[in-house]
Amino acid sequence: MDKKKKPLFQKWRYKYRLILYNDNTFEEVLHFRLSRWNVALLIVFGSFFLIFLTTFIIADTSLKEYIPGYPDADAIQKAKSNQLYIDSIEEKLAVQEKYLNNLKYLIYYGEPISKNTVQHADTTKNYKNLALYASPNDSAFRKKVEQEEKYSLNQDKTLQSLFVRNHYFMPVKGIITNKFNTNQKHFGVDIVTKAKEVVTAILDGQVIYAGYTSQTGYMIIIQHKENLLSVYKHLEQIFPSIGDKVSVGKIIGIVGNTGENSTGPHLHFELWYKGQPINPENVMTF
Protein backbone atom coordinates (compact mmCIF):
# COMPACT_ATOMS: atom_id res chain seq x y z
CA MET A 1 0.00 0.00 0.00
CA ASP A 2 1.11 3.44 -0.83
CA LYS A 3 1.38 5.62 2.18
CA LYS A 4 -0.34 9.00 1.97
CA LYS A 5 2.02 11.83 1.98
CA LYS A 6 1.71 14.11 4.94
CA PRO A 7 1.57 17.89 4.22
CA LEU A 8 4.66 19.80 5.01
CA PHE A 9 2.69 22.28 7.15
CA GLN A 10 -0.28 21.19 9.26
CA LYS A 11 -2.87 23.69 10.33
CA TRP A 12 -3.19 23.68 14.09
CA ARG A 13 -6.25 24.91 15.93
CA TYR A 14 -5.42 26.23 19.32
CA LYS A 15 -7.90 25.87 22.17
CA TYR A 16 -7.48 27.44 25.57
CA ARG A 17 -8.85 26.64 28.94
CA LEU A 18 -9.26 28.96 31.90
CA ILE A 19 -9.01 26.98 35.13
CA LEU A 20 -9.76 28.17 38.64
CA TYR A 21 -8.36 25.96 41.38
CA ASN A 22 -7.83 25.93 45.12
CA ASP A 23 -4.36 27.22 45.97
CA ASN A 24 -4.04 24.98 49.01
CA THR A 25 -5.30 21.66 47.67
CA PHE A 26 -4.74 22.30 43.96
CA GLU A 27 -8.28 21.06 43.42
CA GLU A 28 -9.97 22.32 40.26
CA VAL A 29 -12.89 24.54 41.20
CA LEU A 30 -14.08 25.92 37.85
CA HIS A 31 -12.86 25.91 34.30
CA PHE A 32 -13.85 27.62 31.05
CA ARG A 33 -13.04 26.49 27.54
CA LEU A 34 -11.88 29.49 25.47
CA SER A 35 -11.45 30.06 21.78
CA ARG A 36 -10.48 33.02 19.68
CA TRP A 37 -14.11 33.93 18.94
CA ASN A 38 -15.46 33.84 22.46
CA VAL A 39 -12.39 35.75 23.70
CA ALA A 40 -13.06 38.42 21.07
CA LEU A 41 -16.74 38.58 22.03
CA LEU A 42 -15.79 38.79 25.69
CA ILE A 43 -13.47 41.73 24.96
CA VAL A 44 -16.17 43.53 22.91
CA PHE A 45 -18.91 43.09 25.50
CA GLY A 46 -16.49 44.00 28.26
CA SER A 47 -15.58 47.21 26.46
CA PHE A 48 -19.25 48.17 26.04
CA PHE A 49 -19.87 47.44 29.69
CA LEU A 50 -16.95 49.62 30.77
CA ILE A 51 -18.14 52.48 28.52
CA PHE A 52 -21.68 52.24 29.91
CA LEU A 53 -20.42 52.06 33.48
CA THR A 54 -18.12 55.07 32.98
CA THR A 55 -20.92 57.14 31.41
CA PHE A 56 -23.31 56.24 34.21
CA ILE A 57 -20.80 57.17 36.90
CA ILE A 58 -19.93 60.48 35.26
CA ALA A 59 -23.55 61.45 34.59
CA ASP A 60 -24.96 60.60 38.02
CA THR A 61 -22.09 61.38 40.34
CA SER A 62 -20.02 64.41 41.25
CA LEU A 63 -17.18 63.22 39.03
CA LYS A 64 -18.69 65.16 36.11
CA GLU A 65 -17.56 68.38 37.80
CA TYR A 66 -13.97 67.49 36.92
CA ILE A 67 -14.72 67.43 33.18
CA PRO A 68 -13.27 70.58 31.52
CA GLY A 69 -16.01 73.01 30.47
CA TYR A 70 -18.75 71.43 32.57
CA PRO A 71 -20.15 73.84 35.22
CA ASP A 72 -19.92 72.74 38.79
CA ALA A 73 -22.82 72.58 41.21
CA ASP A 74 -21.99 75.97 42.76
CA ALA A 75 -22.06 77.71 39.36
CA ILE A 76 -25.42 76.16 38.48
CA GLN A 77 -26.85 77.14 41.85
CA LYS A 78 -25.58 80.72 41.49
CA ALA A 79 -27.10 80.95 37.99
CA LYS A 80 -30.48 79.82 39.33
CA SER A 81 -30.24 82.26 42.24
CA ASN A 82 -29.39 85.13 39.87
CA GLN A 83 -32.34 84.28 37.62
CA LEU A 84 -34.72 84.28 40.58
CA TYR A 85 -33.23 87.57 41.78
CA ILE A 86 -33.70 89.20 38.36
CA ASP A 87 -37.30 87.97 38.18
CA SER A 88 -37.99 89.41 41.62
CA ILE A 89 -36.51 92.78 40.59
CA GLU A 90 -38.71 92.88 37.47
CA GLU A 91 -41.79 92.12 39.57
CA LYS A 92 -40.87 94.84 42.07
CA LEU A 93 -40.37 97.38 39.26
CA ALA A 94 -43.75 96.51 37.78
CA VAL A 95 -45.41 96.87 41.19
CA GLN A 96 -43.62 100.18 41.80
CA GLU A 97 -44.70 101.51 38.40
CA LYS A 98 -48.33 100.60 39.11
CA TYR A 99 -48.02 102.23 42.54
CA LEU A 100 -46.70 105.51 41.09
CA ASN A 101 -49.43 105.60 38.45
CA ASN A 102 -52.01 104.89 41.11
CA LEU A 103 -50.56 107.64 43.30
CA LYS A 104 -50.70 110.19 40.46
CA TYR A 105 -54.26 109.19 39.69
CA LEU A 106 -55.17 109.46 43.38
CA ILE A 107 -53.64 112.94 43.69
CA TYR A 108 -55.33 114.39 40.61
CA TYR A 109 -58.53 112.38 40.43
CA GLY A 110 -59.33 111.86 44.11
CA GLU A 111 -59.66 108.08 43.95
CA PRO A 112 -57.39 105.12 43.14
CA ILE A 113 -57.25 103.47 39.76
CA SER A 114 -59.83 100.76 39.35
CA LYS A 115 -58.97 97.73 37.23
CA ASN A 116 -62.44 97.83 35.74
CA THR A 117 -61.86 101.27 34.20
CA VAL A 118 -58.66 100.34 32.33
CA GLN A 119 -59.60 99.34 28.81
CA HIS A 120 -57.52 97.25 26.45
CA ALA A 121 -57.63 96.66 22.74
CA ASP A 122 -59.95 93.97 21.44
CA THR A 123 -57.56 91.59 19.67
CA THR A 124 -60.44 89.57 18.20
CA LYS A 125 -61.27 92.36 15.75
CA ASN A 126 -59.28 93.40 12.69
CA TYR A 127 -59.47 97.18 12.78
CA LYS A 128 -57.54 97.58 9.52
CA ASN A 129 -60.34 96.02 7.49
CA LEU A 130 -63.19 98.01 9.04
CA ALA A 131 -65.15 100.03 6.49
CA LEU A 132 -66.88 103.05 8.02
CA TYR A 133 -69.28 105.02 5.83
CA ALA A 134 -71.44 107.99 6.68
CA SER A 135 -75.15 107.65 5.98
CA PRO A 136 -76.73 109.89 3.28
CA ASN A 137 -78.74 111.76 5.92
CA ASP A 138 -75.64 112.39 8.02
CA SER A 139 -73.65 113.65 5.02
CA ALA A 140 -76.46 115.99 3.98
CA PHE A 141 -76.78 117.35 7.50
CA ARG A 142 -73.03 117.98 7.73
CA LYS A 143 -72.99 119.92 4.44
CA LYS A 144 -75.94 122.00 5.57
CA VAL A 145 -74.27 122.91 8.85
CA GLU A 146 -70.96 123.73 7.12
CA GLN A 147 -72.68 126.03 4.66
CA GLU A 148 -74.58 127.79 7.44
CA GLU A 149 -71.50 128.27 9.61
CA LYS A 150 -69.28 129.25 6.68
CA TYR A 151 -71.00 132.61 6.19
CA SER A 152 -71.91 133.26 9.81
CA LEU A 153 -70.82 136.73 10.93
CA ASN A 154 -71.13 135.96 14.64
CA GLN A 155 -68.97 132.82 14.67
CA ASP A 156 -65.65 134.54 15.49
CA LYS A 157 -67.24 136.68 18.20
CA THR A 158 -68.94 133.66 19.74
CA LEU A 159 -65.66 131.74 19.68
CA GLN A 160 -63.72 134.56 21.31
CA SER A 161 -66.30 134.96 24.05
CA LEU A 162 -66.21 131.21 24.63
CA PHE A 163 -62.46 131.30 25.16
CA VAL A 164 -62.73 134.26 27.53
CA ARG A 165 -65.45 132.66 29.66
CA ASN A 166 -63.68 129.32 30.11
CA HIS A 167 -60.54 128.68 32.11
CA TYR A 168 -58.72 125.85 30.34
CA PHE A 169 -56.57 123.31 32.14
CA MET A 170 -53.52 122.06 30.24
CA PRO A 171 -53.95 118.41 29.20
CA VAL A 172 -50.23 117.74 29.77
CA LYS A 173 -47.05 119.75 30.19
CA GLY A 174 -44.51 119.33 27.41
CA ILE A 175 -43.03 120.59 24.16
CA ILE A 176 -45.00 120.89 20.91
CA THR A 177 -43.15 119.06 18.14
CA ASN A 178 -45.85 119.16 15.45
CA LYS A 179 -48.11 122.21 15.21
CA PHE A 180 -51.67 122.70 14.03
CA ASN A 181 -51.83 122.63 10.21
CA THR A 182 -55.09 122.17 8.31
CA ASN A 183 -53.31 121.96 4.95
CA GLN A 184 -51.56 118.79 6.11
CA LYS A 185 -54.77 117.59 7.78
CA HIS A 186 -53.09 117.82 11.16
CA PHE A 187 -56.00 119.17 13.20
CA GLY A 188 -54.20 119.33 16.53
CA VAL A 189 -50.81 119.57 18.22
CA ASP A 190 -48.35 116.83 19.19
CA ILE A 191 -47.03 117.31 22.71
CA VAL A 192 -43.92 115.41 23.74
CA THR A 193 -43.55 114.87 27.49
CA LYS A 194 -42.20 112.39 29.99
CA ALA A 195 -43.12 108.73 29.63
CA LYS A 196 -46.08 107.61 31.76
CA GLU A 197 -47.17 111.25 32.26
CA VAL A 198 -50.81 111.67 33.21
CA VAL A 199 -53.30 113.39 30.88
CA THR A 200 -56.03 115.61 32.33
CA ALA A 201 -59.32 117.02 31.08
CA ILE A 202 -59.18 120.67 29.98
CA LEU A 203 -62.78 121.46 31.02
CA ASP A 204 -65.80 119.88 32.64
CA GLY A 205 -67.60 117.58 30.28
CA GLN A 206 -68.89 114.13 29.41
CA VAL A 207 -66.97 111.33 27.69
CA ILE A 208 -68.61 110.48 24.35
CA TYR A 209 -65.87 108.10 23.16
CA ALA A 210 -63.28 106.01 25.00
CA GLY A 211 -61.73 103.15 23.07
CA TYR A 212 -59.09 101.90 20.67
CA THR A 213 -58.56 102.33 16.92
CA SER A 214 -55.75 101.02 14.74
CA GLN A 215 -54.75 104.53 13.61
CA THR A 216 -54.99 106.56 16.84
CA GLY A 217 -54.52 103.85 19.48
CA TYR A 218 -56.28 104.54 22.77
CA MET A 219 -58.38 107.71 22.35
CA ILE A 220 -60.79 109.79 24.43
CA ILE A 221 -63.28 112.42 23.17
CA ILE A 222 -64.97 114.70 25.70
CA GLN A 223 -68.06 116.82 24.94
CA HIS A 224 -67.97 120.19 26.72
CA LYS A 225 -70.54 122.97 26.90
CA GLU A 226 -71.35 125.19 23.91
CA ASN A 227 -70.49 122.61 21.21
CA LEU A 228 -66.82 122.29 22.21
CA LEU A 229 -64.99 118.96 21.87
CA SER A 230 -61.54 117.95 23.14
CA VAL A 231 -59.73 114.92 21.68
CA TYR A 232 -56.83 112.98 23.25
CA LYS A 233 -55.03 110.36 21.11
CA HIS A 234 -52.21 107.76 21.35
CA LEU A 235 -52.76 107.12 25.08
CA GLU A 236 -51.29 104.10 26.83
CA GLN A 237 -54.23 103.72 29.18
CA ILE A 238 -57.66 105.29 29.43
CA PHE A 239 -59.57 105.49 32.68
CA PRO A 240 -63.10 106.85 32.08
CA SER A 241 -65.75 105.02 30.08
CA ILE A 242 -68.31 106.30 27.61
CA GLY A 243 -70.93 108.37 29.42
CA ASP A 244 -68.74 109.26 32.42
CA LYS A 245 -68.69 112.87 33.54
CA VAL A 246 -65.26 114.39 34.17
CA SER A 247 -64.30 117.64 35.81
CA VAL A 248 -61.58 120.06 34.82
CA GLY A 249 -58.07 118.95 35.73
CA LYS A 250 -59.01 115.32 36.42
CA ILE A 251 -56.85 112.48 35.09
CA ILE A 252 -58.35 110.67 32.12
CA GLY A 253 -55.35 108.67 30.83
CA ILE A 254 -51.60 108.18 30.53
CA VAL A 255 -49.34 109.34 27.69
CA GLY A 256 -48.40 106.47 25.39
CA ASN A 257 -47.29 105.38 21.93
CA THR A 258 -50.28 103.41 20.62
CA GLY A 259 -51.69 103.40 17.11
CA GLU A 260 -50.15 103.20 13.65
CA ASN A 261 -49.87 107.01 13.31
CA SER A 262 -47.76 107.36 16.47
CA THR A 263 -44.00 107.75 16.08
CA GLY A 264 -43.10 107.90 19.76
CA PRO A 265 -44.52 108.60 23.24
CA HIS A 266 -46.57 111.80 22.98
CA LEU A 267 -50.09 113.22 23.23
CA HIS A 268 -51.99 114.32 20.13
CA PHE A 269 -54.49 116.94 21.35
CA GLU A 270 -57.30 118.49 19.32
CA LEU A 271 -60.02 121.10 19.92
CA TRP A 272 -63.21 121.24 17.83
CA TYR A 273 -65.91 123.91 17.93
CA LYS A 274 -69.14 123.28 16.05
CA GLY A 275 -67.46 120.77 13.76
CA GLN A 276 -64.46 122.98 12.97
CA PRO A 277 -60.91 122.36 14.24
CA ILE A 278 -59.31 125.02 16.43
CA ASN A 279 -55.61 125.64 17.03
CA PRO A 280 -55.08 124.74 20.71
CA GLU A 281 -52.17 127.21 20.94
CA ASN A 282 -54.69 130.04 20.48
CA VAL A 283 -56.45 128.93 23.63
CA MET A 284 -53.74 127.83 26.07
CA THR A 285 -49.98 128.05 26.59
CA PHE A 286 -48.04 124.79 26.51
SS (H, E, C) 197-229: CEEECCCCEEEEEEEEECCCEEEEEEEECCCEE
Share of the chain above pLDDT 70, in %: 69
Write down the pLDDT at residue 80. Answer: 79
3-state secondary structure of 237: strand
Cβ pair 155, 149 in contact under 8 A: yes
Cβ pair 240, 208 in contact under 8 A: no
* pLDDT digit string, tens, across residues 143-196: 776 666 554 444 455 555 666 556 788 899 899 999 999 889 999 999 999 888
CATH architecture of 168-282: Distorted Sandwich (2.70)
pTM, full prediction: 0.47
Per-residue pLDDT, averaged over 232-238, amounts to 93
Q: What angle do CA 220, 226, 228 make, to 5 degrees?
A: 30
Per-residue pLDDT, averaged over 121-146, amounts to 66
Domain boundaries, the chain: 16-65, 168-282
Share of the chain above pLDDT 90, in %: 26
Highest-scoring range by mean pLDDT, 48-57, 138-147, 252-261: 252-261
Q: Which residue has the higher pLDDT, 152 or 74?
A: 74
Write down the pLDDT at residue 118. Answer: 47
3-state secondary structure of 27: coil
Alpha-carbon gap, residue 189 to 269, rounded angstroms: 5
Length of the chain: 286
**Rg of the chain, C-alpha, whole Å:** 43
Q: Are strands 175-178 and 245-246 parallel, antiparallel or unpaired?
A: unpaired
* pLDDT digit string, tens, across residues 272-281: 988 889 888 8
